[in-house]
Structure 1
Amino acid sequence: MSAVRLDHLEVFAQIVRCGGFRAAAAERGVSSSVISQTMHALERDLGLRLLNRTTRSIAPTEAGQRLLDRLRPALDDIRLALAEVDQLRTTPSGTLRIKAPGPAVDHVLCPLAFRFMQTHPAVKVEIVSDAAMVDIVGEGFDAGVRFGEHLAPDMIATPLGKPLRYAIVAAPGYIARHGTPRVPQDLVAHDCIRRRYPGGKLAKWEFEKAGQSFTLQPEGRLTLSSAQQEMQAALAGQGIAHVFEDYARAALSDGALVEVLADWSPKLPSWYLYYPNRRHNSAAMIAFLECVRQSARQAFHDIERA
């Protein structure tokens, strides 16, 4: 048996439903000869006669009826599946899967997703917090989040908000006991709260001021694996922490933490949402990208007003 085309099977079912070649041709908007040729090709590919024809009527053969009994529900399922897929194209729905580092999830992506879901109730969002560099397409994600300089060239990227900044923070009690570092080199005499990445490397602290740059591999008794843990340790007076400013903003405002070496903290690129270079994104992805762009415009507007 040769390969059978789905549209030929549709024509066969349509002929039986309409009661003849002419009626099926009229419904499809083609000539009767096209319907006849299609039916002939289908029977040739199957090696079986599917229809008994007379001048006044047509009727399925035994083989045709068996095929039709299985074909009708299958075609209905296919039409339903195509309608559901078309809905993804026209109406924001379905599931968006996004992978992002923890800090981006905490301070940018989650608030953004919450606003998006309020206005698009038919869309589900799954966010995976993971800093590992992976192939988002191969892992089944619609988008990912990275720093600007870490983007693959075959991806499209849009900023998620304002540029980032690290803050060097400690509890007032720790500073009272150990003194305030004035330059990054002073940190070698302090108990720094270190961060170990999932891959095993220890995070380095980078500083910049007036054209000078300095990189420190901090020393300290406590090593942790997340910014939330580092914040808890800093608040408990365990040492000096190096965290994104967004994590420390509230504690700095109420005096629970103080910032040191503020003039040495360089600006960093913003987080970027990146996604494959596709011409046919789903309606949900298109709507989410618009939400991202609106959020970024508002963030940059706030910077200009500040």
Structure 2
Amino acid sequence: MTKPTLADLTAFSAVAAHRSFRRAADALGVSRSSLSHTMLALERQLGVRLLNRTTRSVAPTEAGEALLVRIGPVLRNLDEALDAVADARGNPSGMLRINANEGAARILLKAAVPRFLERFPGMALDLVVEGRLVDIVEQGFDAGVRLEESVPRDMVAVRIGGDLRFVVVAAPSYLEGRKPLITPDDLREHACIRQRLPSGKRYRWEFARRGEEVLVDVPGALTLDNNGLMVEAASAGLGLAYVPEAAARDWLDDGRLVLVLQEWCPFIPGLCLYYPGHRHVPAGLRAFIDVLKEVNGDA
């Protein structure tokens, strides 16, 4: 019997881990059809079915699970050995996949990403922007970037920058002639630009002051799902918007927008890069984390 190649076994391990040909193919950088052919050829070589396939899912058979138990440590040891060589060269190579929301991606692109790609020319970065929070392990990502409060507890987190806050902004023209806002309840008398979350639900604005927390399901005829668009709509006088302060910074600096209810908008822990703590950390991810720490020190 011809022995399977390392590439064949790596492909099988990826399909089993992701429980999806599509996600495994994305992680490996191959086409779904090519990966499917590889798995069929591997099963023919071994003379046993390794995967149970349905129209919606894929999962290892009993024989497949037994093979995974044997090859898992071998593949991990190989990855660690290759990373050790990369560390010795000081030049990691390969693909680093990071999932982030739009605001986090913009922050990474300002300093960390250019410095990382310049310093490590052998690395490629796949930065996927997604509003919803995903399982980075299941989806084949090396790391994710989200607000600290959203990071799963079983992950290792590395802070990016400092604390941040969400603020209520409005155009001076909108506020002119209207009653000043003193408490969050005053929002019920105003036109608010509502936000739809990736889940489809509308976001309730969150406020806090001296231990008191308030949630307001604000009224408004306009609903958007993008911070940048909400800032632009507010600057056009369409109503009040609740956005990360950084998203509105340029408009606030030049006076197109002003802050309201500031004392009800406290700072909260900011963004974190996070990754699984129970798995081997690839050399490329360690290098990216080092760059992040440098950038944080420069700030």
TM-score normalised by length of structure 2: 0.68
> Aligned to 2:275, what secondary structure does the other structure show?
strand
Rounded Cα–Cα distance in structure 2 between residues aligned with 1:282 and 1:250: 37
> Aligned to 2:176, what secondary structure does the other structure show?
helix
Aligned to 1:252: 252
Rounded Cα–Cα distance in structure 1 between residues aligned with 2:259 and 2:100: 27
* RMSD value, Cα: 2.6
Aligned to 1:109: 108
Q: How many angstroms does 1:235 deviate by?
A: 1.0
Q: How many angstroms does 1:104 deviate by?
A: 1.5
> Aligned to 2:250, what secondary structure does the other structure show?
helix
Residues 178 and 190, structure 1, Cα contact 8 Å, conserved in 2: no
Rounded Cα–Cα distance in structure 2 between residues aligned with 1:175 and 1:5: 68
After TM superposition, the runs of 4+ consecutive aligned structure 1 residues lying more than 6 A away are 1-6
Cα pair distance change 1:156/1:186, threshold 3 Å: same
Q: How many angstroms does 1:137 deviate by?
A: 1.5
* Deviations 1:201-251 (CA, angstroms, capped at 9, x unpaired): 111111111222211111101000110110110111100000000011111
Aligned length: 223
Aligned pairs for 1:179-258 (under 5 A) are: 179-258=179-258
Identity %: 39
Deviating more after overlay: 151-160 vs 227-236 = 151-160
Q: How many angstroms does 1:280 deviate by?
A: 3.8
Aligned pairs for 1:1-306 (under 5 A) are: 85=82, 88=86, 90=89, 91-106=91-106, 108-111=107-110, 112-277=112-277, 280-299=280-299
Q: Which segments of 5 or more consecutive residues in structure 1 lack a partner in the other structure? A: 7-80, 300-306
Cα pair distance change 1:2/1:126, threshold 3 Å: closer
Rounded Cα–Cα distance in structure 2 between residues aligned with 1:281 and 1:149: 23
* Deviations 1:260-293 (CA, angstroms, capped at 9, x unpaired): 1111102111111001225643322111011112
Deviating more after overlay: 227-236 vs 151-160 = 151-160
* Deviations 1:176-201 (CA, angstroms, capped at 9, x unpaired): 14343121111100000000012111
Cα pair distance change 1:281/1:213, threshold 3 Å: closer
Cα pair distance change 1:288/1:182, threshold 3 Å: same
Q: How many angstroms does 1:115 deviate by?
A: 2.7
Residues 88 and 282, structure 1, Cα contact 8 Å, conserved in 2: no
Cα pair distance change 1:270/1:4, threshold 3 Å: closer
Deviating more after overlay: 254-263 vs 279-288 = 279-288
> Aligned to 2:165, what secondary structure does the other structure show?
strand
Which is greater in Rg? 1
AA of the residue aligned to 1:189: E
Rounded Cα–Cα distance in structure 1 between residues aligned with 2:5 and 2:148: 47
AA of the residue aligned to 2:94: G
Q: How many angstroms does 1:151 deviate by?
A: 2.3
> Aligned to 2:134, what secondary structure does the other structure show?
coil
Rounded Cα–Cα distance in structure 2 between residues aligned with 1:98 and 1:135: 12
Rounded Cα–Cα distance in structure 2 between residues aligned with 1:161 and 1:244: 14
Rounded Cα–Cα distance in structure 1 between residues aligned with 2:195 and 2:125: 29
Q: Which segments of 5 or more consecutive residues in structure 2 lack a partner in the other structure? A: 7-77
Rounded Cα–Cα distance in structure 2 between residues aligned with 1:290 and 1:255: 38
